[in-house]
Structure 1
Amino acid sequence: MLDPRKLHLLRELSRRGTIAAVAEAAAFTPSAVSQQLSALEREAGVPLLQRTGRTVTLTPAGRLLVEHAQAVLEQLERASAALAAVRGGPSGPLRVGAFPTAARVLLPPALATLAAAHPGLVPMISEIDPADVSAALRAGELDVALVHEYDFVPPVTDDALETEPLFAEPMYLTDRPAIAAAAGDPWIAGTPGTLCHTMTIRACQAAGFEPDVRHHIDDFDTVLSFAAAGQGVALVPRLAALSPPSGVRLTPLPLHRRTLAAFRRGYGEHPAIQAAIAAFHEALAGLSL
């Protein structure tokens, strides 16, 4: 019988690439992960890993088992959700990840709704960059997370996760009538590697130039403060520009950011996840977006 916990480690190895990365995510030692994967190979009866020095790759049999592992783990999530529904209303810890603007604007009214409707739920919020959400959900560090995607940036797909669209919001340019008009200006963008940074670079490239990024800032309140001080132009979403500083002019653009709720595949029927998503929608209905 194949052990689902070991299958989870094999799936994580296929995604993270190294034993050390899997160990860090699973809060195990690398030695413990290696032992678990060796035990899985014995259970499977075929080699699953190819070891060359310190490098470990999956064999064809290993890759085949990962494909089946995803289906097994998804069914276990469905079983967990079904059992939770039988037990009654949602209760217990609910670990929610969110990017900063959603945490500041959307989560407070959503949490108030949850507290009133489901007092047995205990939400625990963590700010997290959307780029890190997939790994955190797969590792069980989060139950549900608010993520976003931008025009010009293809969404990151993960077959271990499902998403539910929540809303779309326009993007604004600070203090210029169009992106092309800011070709000679200093720019404020997110940290390299974030979706916000990639969106800014590609939007400028689509307008025919490479932006001169002077400042790398992830918090949009700070971005707007820098723009108000004349330190550069920036692209900001509507959710971050509900109360801009005085002196900052915002030009709406035909670009959008879309926010989604993400959760492990098969887990969407869990009463706590359904309650959270319902609260997100109710909070959005009360916002002027």
Structure 2
Amino acid sequence: MIDLRRLHVLRAVAHYGTVTAAARALHFTPSAASQQIRQLARDLGVDLLEPQGRGIRLTPAAESLLAHADAIQARWEQAELELRADQDEPAGPLRVGGLAGAVSALLAPMAVRLRERHSRLTVSIQELGLPESFDLLFEGAIDVAVVEATPHNPPLSDARYDQRPLLDDPFDLVVPADHPLARRDRVDLADAAHEDWIAPVVDSACRTHVMSACGAAGFTPSVVHQAVEWNVTAHLVAHRLGVALIPRLAHLTPDLPITRIRCVGNPHRKILTCTRTGAHERPAVAAALRELRDLAPATVT
């Protein structure tokens, strides 16, 4: 008989990449986590980890076992749903998280609607980045995440997660209010090719989107300034330090002397909802997803 607690430790090692990181996430000591893996290997009569340089890697037997472990987790979510089938009214705690723009434009109004319609449901919200959103979903610390699609996300085929499109978030060219381009209703990014640019920092998910949009317009932007937060970027634009691409979902300080201009070709990022596989049918999660889908169209008009 497989001890499911030990199986969960193996899943954590696969998710975080090292025994130490998995132990930290599970609030174990590294030696205790290693002991759980060794005992699971003895129970099954196979090797689960093998050395790779200074680290470790999963054996083919472990990879095969993990495919079953992910299926077991999804079935467990389904079992909980069926056991509570007579409890159709959303109730209890619902933990949601997402990127900053999604918190202000989507998750906050979603929480208000859920509070008005389901008095027994309690919603808590966290602002989260990547890959933290996927880590907390994996750990069961949140139930729904709103994330942007990036090359670093788990693939859509990852059996642990149910990732679904929510909306396309367009990027607008943001320029000082007195910039010559500010008079246009729509702009070709190539017209800003010779401007100084303000871009997300190099390790930001949106850096790739900005550089790709400019590349599609036929140029590499001259990045003079970098910022983490979109509102900081907007303030740099307001001080005439450059132009920037900013997603429409980003809430900027009102009354800044800047102009947002729609772009030819509609460069955008894709925003997804993500739950653990099997969890999207839980009444509370299903209610949250319905509200998000209802709110999404109005956020980027």
Is TM more than 0.5 here? yes
The answer to whether structure 1 residue 209 and structure 2 residue 219 are counterparts is yes
Tell me if the contact between 1:173 and 1:236 (Cα under 8 Å) persists in the aligned partners: yes
Identical positions, percent: 37
Give the SS at the match of 1:73.
helix
> What amino acid is the match of 1:202?
S
In structure 2, what is the equivalent of residue 37 of structure 1? 37
CA distance in 2, matches of 1:219, 1:260: 20
Give the conservation status (yes or no) of the 8 Å contact 1:82–1:269.
no
> Are the aligned partners of 1:6 and 1:37 in contact in 2 as well (CA < 8 Å)?
yes
Q: Counterpart of 2:101 in 1: which secondary structure?
A: helix
In structure 1, C-alpha distance between the alignment counterparts of 2:174 and 2:44, rounded to whole Å: 58
Q: Are residues 1:107 and 2:107 paired?
A: yes
**2:267 aligned with 1:234, yes or no?**
no
Distance 2:53 2:30 in 1: 15
Asked if residue 144 in structure 1 is aligned to residue 154 in structure 2, the reply is: no
SS of alignment partner, residue 270 of structure 2: strand
Q: Secondary structure at the match of 1:122?
A: strand
**2:73 paired residue number:** 73
Q: Please say if residues 84 and 90 of structure 1, whose CA atoms lie closer than 8 Å, have aligned partners that are also in contact.
A: no
1:267 corresponds in structure 2 to: 279
Partner of 2:178: none
Shift in CA distance, 109/4, structure 1 to aligned 2, threshold 3 Å? same
Q: TM-score, normalised by structure 2?
A: 0.86
Measured at CA, do residues 45 and 233 of structure 1 come closer, stay the same or move farther in structure 2, by a change above 3 Å? same
Q: Which runs of 5+ in 2 are unaligned?
A: 176-180, 182-186
- Alignment of 1:248 onto 2:255: no
- Please say if residues 189 and 263 of structure 2, whose CA atoms lie closer than 8 Å, have aligned partners that are also in contact: no
Q: TM-score, normalised by structure 1?
A: 0.89
3-state SS of the aligned residue for 1:208?
Answer: coil
Residue 184 of structure 2 is matched in structure 1 by none
**Displacement after TM superposition at 1:149 (Å):** 2.6
**Counterpart of 1:200?**
210
Helix, strand or coil at the partner of 2:159: coil
Q: Is this contact kept in 1: 2:47–2:61, CA < 8 A? A: yes
Query: Per-residue CA shift, 1:46-85, capped at 9, x if unaligned?
Result: 1111146852211111111111111111111211233344
Q: Aligned to 2:291, what secondary structure does the other structure show?
A: helix
User: Is 2:190 the partner of 1:180?
Assistant: yes
Output the CA distance in 2 between the equivalents of 1:278 and 1:195. 27
> Per-residue deviation at 1:132?
2.7
Distance 1:14 1:154 in 2: 16
2:201 match: secondary structure: coil
**Stretch of structure 1 that moved more, 77-86 or 113-122:** 77-86
Indicate conservation of the 8 Å contact 1:115/1:121, yes or no: yes
Partner of 1:128: 128
Task: Structure 1: state its 5+ residue gaps.
Answer: none
Matches of 1:232 and 1:86, distance apart in 2 = 58
Q: Which whole-Å CA distance do the structure 2 matches of 1:241 and 1:251 have between them?
A: 16
Tell me which moved more, 108-117 or 45-54: 45-54
Q: 1:60 to 1:221 in 2, by over 3 A?
A: same
Structure 2 counterpart SS, 1:215: strand
Q: 5 Å matches for 1:56-95?
A: 56-95=56-95
When residues 211 and 5 of structure 1 are mapped into structure 2, their CA distance, relative to the original with a 3 A threshold, is farther
The Cα offsets for residues 152-209 of structure 1, whole Å up to 9 and x where unpaired, read as x686413310023222232211235332233333322223222211111222233333
The letter of the residue matching 1:282 is D
Task: Say which SS state the counterpart of residue 231 (structure 2) adopts.
Answer: helix
Aligned residues between the structures: 287
The Cα RMSD (Å) is: 2.4
Q: Any conservation in 1 of the 2:234–2:258 contact (CA below 8 Å)? A: no
Q: 1:244/1:58 Cα in 2 relative to 1: closer, same or farther (>3 Å)?
A: farther
Could you say what secondary structure the match of 2:165 adopts? strand
Shift in alpha-carbon separation, 1:38–1:154, aligned structure 2, 3 A: closer
